[in-house]
Amino acid sequence: MSTPALTTATPAIDPTFENVWDELVWRGLVHVSTDQEALRALLAGDPITYYCGFDPTAPSLHLGNLVQLLTMRRLQLAGHKPLGLVGGSTGLIGDPRPTAERTLNTRETVAEWVDRLRAQVERYLSFEGDNAARMVNNLDWTAPMSAIDFLREIGKHYRVGTMLKKDAVAARLASDEGISYTEFSYQILQGMDYLELYRQYDCVLQTGGSDQWGNLTSGTDLIRRAEGVSVHAIGTPLITNSDGTKFGKSEGNAIWLDPEMCSPYRMYQFWLSTADGDVIERLKIFTFLSRAEIEEYAALVESEPFRRAAQRRLALEVVTTVHGVDAAAAVIAASEALFGQGDLSALDADTLRTALEELPNATVAAGTPVLDALVTTGLVSSLSEARRAISQGGVSLDGFRVDETALIEGALPGRVSVLRRGKKTLAGVFIG
């Protein structure tokens, strides 16, 4: 079987599905929802308005949020009308974490992060046509409301017993930290968002992660009590690796969508390292490849796993979606050149530098002997080991084999060099 061509997919709904709901289910994007038959009929009918909210609890969105952004895009491509909500008010509080209270950020910080997240969300939606997207901020309707109005108009619809049963609240009540009234009230604020969007825009569907299900149903319950109307919610699955480890996070080192917080090269390598057991699920969720194309890659994973064709396509698609075609081309060129399949001197200086920052690296003075640089970068443990590696012909500098007299000059774009020991052990050297 031949490997499918590495061209990026155009965002589109797969016409082989009768309904966008069926495609969402096939892609594994529906972990929990309100009435499925009613949702299927709703999404097959006239355009509806739906929303997803993003809280500014960090200066960037991450891969978990990308699930929601792409789900929103799929629904818009099917003709429905998206509302992208950035939580200027809920971001001042934060939804309850399982074990401890959040540190409250300043109003100025939250306002800055609102702007950053809004710009990120806007990249994934279309603001043209009959189903143009609209961005909203829940601070617009929360800030003018007095505490008395909040309690009278919204709080009266909530039952404390029901609120206590929500998973996030129950977990905190069982912890040593307990839960403050501030975080306890978060589900009311999110429910109020849905009610406000229903009243303003006739919004009848909210999407979010399944870990937010208690907050999602807070809104559906509130609208039913306040307006006597049934609306809907979809909870997407939390993405985990087949070995049970967390997806997209490692020791607090999340894969952020902001290139300043996570370089396109690092993101590309992250996707490239996807396990065979996870890659088809990732293609379904994180790309717009058709069902037929994904089935081709599934066959390749079975027949030719050593080629890692599915991983390469996944990395290409996601980096293109998040950072654009040019960034994806640059990181692919850097990846291939670093591992001996391209010209290092032809690489873009910024891309090369960010790629080398992901490798073992060191900063040295111009004219430093290669022997010393091998030790400084950690490619060898001693000068004697460095001499032995060089004598065996196993060391190259910027793609060329060297002897003991070689010096580091930073000959590549951006005054950097690449040291290689053997076929796959690399280090970056920066001239400082």
Residue 174 confidence (pLDDT) above 90: no
SS (H, E, C) 87-149: CCCHHHCCCCCCCCCCCCCCHHHHHHHHHHHHHHHHCCCCCCCCCCCEEEECHHHHCCCCHHH
* Residue that terminates a domain, selected from 236, 262, 286: 236
Q: What angle do CA 120, 125, 129 make, to 5 degrees?
A: 145
Asked if the structure places residue 18 within a domain, the reply is no
CATH number at residue 198: 3.40.50.620
Show Cβ contacts of residue 115 under 8 Å, excluding neighbours closer than 6 positions. Answer: none
207 plus 68 within the same structural domain? yes
Per DSSP bridges, beta strands 395-397 and 232-236 are unpaired
Q: Specify the length of the chain in residues.
A: 432
229 plus 369 within the same structural domain? no
128-147 tens-digit pLDDT: 999 999 999 999 999 999 99
Asked if the structure places residue 170 within a domain, the reply is yes
* Residue that terminates a domain, selected from 182, 212, 236: 236
53 plus 201 within the same structural domain? yes
Residue 82 DSSP SS3:
strand
What number is the average pLDDT over the span 166-180? 87
Torsion, Cα 362 364 369 374, to 10 degrees, reads -10
334-346 tens-digit pLDDT: 998 998 778 899 9
Asked if the structure places residue 54 within a domain, the reply is yes
pTM, rounded to two decimals: 0.91
Hey, what are 320's tokens? 């293109």
The H or E element spanning position 41 is helix 36-44
230 plus 362 within the same structural domain? no
Hey, what are 393's tokens? 């012909």
Q: Which band of pLDDT confidence, cut at 50, 70 and 90, is reported for residue 32?
A: very high
225 plus 365 within the same structural domain? no
Residue 290 confidence (pLDDT) above 90: yes
Residue-range definition of the domain harbouring residue 400: 355-432
Asked if the structure places residue 367 within a domain, the reply is yes
Per DSSP bridges, beta strands 368-369 and 49-54 are unpaired
* Residue that terminates a domain, selected from 169, 202, 236: 236
Torsion, Cα 116 122 124 125, to 10 degrees, reads 160
The H or E element spanning position 33 is strand 32-33
Q: What is the pLDDT of residue 245?
A: 72
The DSSP annotation for 199-225 comes to: HHH-EEEEEEEGGGHHHHHHHHHHHHH
Q: What angle do CA 227, 230, 236 make, to 5 degrees?
A: 125
- Look over the chain and give the mean of its residue pLDDT values, rounded to a whole number: 93
Q: How many domains does the chain have?
A: 2
85 plus 228 within the same structural domain? yes
Asked if the structure places residue 332 within a domain, the reply is no
Residue 304 DSSP SS3:
coil
Asked if the structure places residue 157 within a domain, the reply is yes
Asked if the structure places residue 276 within a domain, the reply is no
CATH number at residue 424: 3.10.290.10
Asked if the structure places residue 290 within a domain, the reply is no
d(CA 336, CA 339): 5
